[in-house]
Homo-oligomer: A and B are copies of this chain.
Amino acid sequence: MALVMRSLAAGASVTRAAVAAEVGLTRATVSTLVDELLASGLLEERGAQRPGTVGRPGTALALSGNGPAGVGAEVGVDHLAACVVDLRGKVRCRTQVPAANRGRPAPEVLAELAGLTAQVTREARDRGLLPVGTTVAVPGLVGRDRGTVLRAPNLGWEDVAVAAALGQETVVENEANLGALAELWLGGHPRLADFVHVSAEIGIGAALVVEGRLFRGARGFAGELGHVPVRPDGPLCSCGAHGCLETYAGEEALLRAAGIGAGGGPALRAAAEAGDPAALRALEEAGAALGIALSGAVNLLDPQAVVVGGPLAALTPWLLPGVRRELADRVTDRQWRAEDVVTSRLGRDGVLLGAAYSAARAVLDNPADWVLKHGA
């Protein structure tokens, strides 16, 4: 059942015959599985498919747009958001509020977030969806087993029990990881299974996808691109080291270098669009720093691509020239092409989308459980 669901989720096959061919089961077995999945509401039929070259036309199948759904929630430094995504990866309800979360008591933040997830869950149920789980994205190091945030310096959090506050079934995950998973699942780049995903809000977040899976490292802390040294004697970083990428390309450093006091990323983008020399210089230098750090990552990891997502995606017109130049200069042992650096199409929404879809995917990964409970 999981093979059938995943084959349809990947969009590769839409008829029973095509699914059978792809997953390597007989047509009869696939038909039986599809009937059970239809009866339990995980699949829908969409009428006859245009005839193939041989035999009767098949009936097109699709993942249900009205069955199980995932709830995603996001704690940003200056906002809170929640959404519900169906099995097809479509956002069905969404809410977002500005919130000054830096230094704000965690229980207060989580109470407000719980209100937002309750609201979108209610809306989703009103539309006939069945929310199956919640994933919360946080900008920090996460203890996934216990549903806690170990440390989120930009929020001022240490050892915050997020799952305990939002319901024990809640999964807590680092935002950079969820951005990368959204790219893997919903980014629309076919066959992209090995990549470095870079995003940023205040810090620089990155995550590694290897062979279609998130690469977590031995202790779960992989992907700290923000603390890769760019210039070992460079400016002091919040982590205590000198010259980390974050001191050149983190939002704070960027805004300072561009001379922008208020308005954050959107103000920087506006200044760059207006051709402001300080903004252009700051972005050019941040792009070069990003390219230097990424060239180390590419030399070590040999990914297919680097994907720039999250809030950084809005700045790629000005960041990418420096990124691409440094990569071209520093990754010389093998072919590395300018087009191997890609801008995410998910943009700022990637993290929230990844959170919600990771909750929905519990059903894709284990449809048999759902069928047992909801089948005919």
> Which residues on A are within 8 Å of B, measured CB to CB?
141, 151, 194, 206, 208, 210, 215-225, 227-232, 239-242, 244, 292-293, 295-297, 299-304, 326, 329-334
Partner pick for A218 among B227, B304, B330, CB 8 A cutoff: B304
Are A229 and B297 in contact, with the CB atoms below 8 A? no
A331 contact set on B, CB distance < 8 A: 227
Q: Which residue of B lies closest to A299 (CB)?
A: B224
Are A295 and B229 in contact, with the CB atoms below 8 A? yes
Instruction: For the complex of A and B, list the 3 residue pairs with the smallest distance between their C-beta atoms, beginning with the closest.
Output: A217-B302, A224-B299, A228-B296
Are A334 and B240 in contact, with the CB atoms below 8 A? no
A151 contact set on B, CB distance < 8 A: 333
Are A297 and B295 in contact, with the CB atoms below 8 A? no
CA distance A225 to B227 in the complex (A): 17
Are A302 and B221 in contact, with the CB atoms below 8 A? yes
Are A241 and B329 in contact, with the CB atoms below 8 A? yes
Are A239 and B295 in contact, with the CB atoms below 8 A? no
Q: Which residue of B lies closest to A305 (CB)?
A: B218
Are A301 and B229 in contact, with the CB atoms below 8 A? no
A230 contact set on B, CB distance < 8 A: 229, 232
Are A231 and B228 in contact, with the CB atoms below 8 A? no
Partner pick for A332 among B241, B302, B334, CB 8 A cutoff: B241
Are A227 and B299 in contact, with the CB atoms below 8 A? yes
A240 contact set on B, CB distance < 8 A: 329, 332
Knowing that A141-B334, A241-B295 touch, tell me 6 more A-B residue pairs with CB under 8 angstroms: A208-B300, A221-B334, A222-B300, A223-B302, A227-B330, A228-B295
Q: Which residue of B lies closest to A228 (CB)?
A: B296
Partner pick for A302 among B219, B232, B333, CB 8 A cutoff: B219
User: Knowing A194-B217, A227-B333, A241-B329 touch, does A300 contact B301 (C-beta < 8 A)?
Assistant: yes
Are B334 and A219 in contact, with the CB atoms below 8 A? yes
Which residue of A244, A302, A304, A334 has the most chain B CB atoms within 10 A of its CB atom? A302
Q: Which residue of B lies closest to A208 (CB)?
A: B300
